[in-house]
Amino acid sequence: MRIENSFVPAEGIGEGRERSLWESGILTWDEFDPARAPLGPKTGAQVESFVAEALERLDDGDARYFGERFPSGEIWRFYENFRNEALFFDIETTGLDAAREDVTTVSVTRGGDTTTLIRGADLTGETLREQFRDAPLVVSFNGKQFDVPFLEDNFDVSIDAPHLDLMFPCRRVDLTGGLKSIEKEVGIDRDRPDLSGRDAVRLWYRYERDGDDDALDTLVSYNRDDTENLQNLADVVTRRLHDDSLGAVCGEPCGIPDPTA
């Protein structure tokens, strides 16, 4: 599913009317014609107006415009368009309370490259703002409730790009539980499946208290695994959502590769 397959941002269009457009053979904005759309004149004019503006905004790569127009539950539709430019991120902390605990590491994966920022070294508000500055789409797992509040409280940064929090689309395709259990269920491997978030806290304190560089290396590796696996999980989940929506209506293939194939 691509942004230009989506009509739900247009006024008067819900999932039912969008589906009727697809069933009539109107699969993209370029194919929209009010004269043959199964819509009334008023709604047809509203969709035509939306399409005219949206095509220009998409040409400009204006992801924030679409972030404001799309229902929050449909941000997954951005993924195929912005997959190569998306920023995948994950943090480790000393606990669960953003007001009292510290962020220890932040890993960011973009364009196949991963950067890990470390507390006391290069993890600062400035370096975070630089990492997130021009991302058209950010991707996390439970990041809206956990990672983002920690980063904004600890570093006075604002993460305002459209945010695909994979925890919610995972639930739509019956993938529940934590990140690691979902990875296992869909066949995504990691180097250290024995490590958990509690281990990450202990590893940080071993490094901070004892100067144990091996503990820090293990923590960084764990954090990087979390981040790098997010792209594989996003590939799996958005393919399934595509198959349940546009693919189910017209058999249109998904343009995202299957990482488990």
pLDDT in the model for residue 193: 82
**One-letter amino acid for residue 167 of the chain:** M
Length of the chain: 261
- Is residue 34 a contact partner of residue 65, using CB atoms and an 8 Å limit? no
Closest CA relative to residue 259, chosen from 240, 226, 233: 233
CA dihedral defined by 227, 170, 60, 156, rounded to 10 degrees? Answer: -50
* pLDDT range class, residue 91, cuts 50, 70, 90: very high
pLDDT in the model for residue 260: 79
Please give the Cα distance from 71 to 8 (Å, whole number). Answer: 8
- Number of neighbouring beta carbons within 10 Å of residue 67: 17
pLDDT in the model for residue 71: 93
- Number of neighbouring beta carbons within 10 Å of residue 251: 8
pLDDT in the model for residue 261: 73
> Bridge partners of 118?
105
Give tens-digit pLDDT for 160-172. Answer: 999 999 999 999 9
Whether 186 has a pLDDT exceeding 80, the answer reads yes
Please give the Cα distance from 161 to 63 (Å, whole number). Answer: 8
- Is residue 191 a contact partner of residue 221, using CB atoms and an 8 Å limit? yes
Does the reported pTM lie above 0.85? yes
Give tens-digit pLDDT for 23-66. Answer: 999 999 999 999 999 999 999 999 999 999 999 999 999 999 99
* pLDDT range class, residue 207, cuts 50, 70, 90: very high
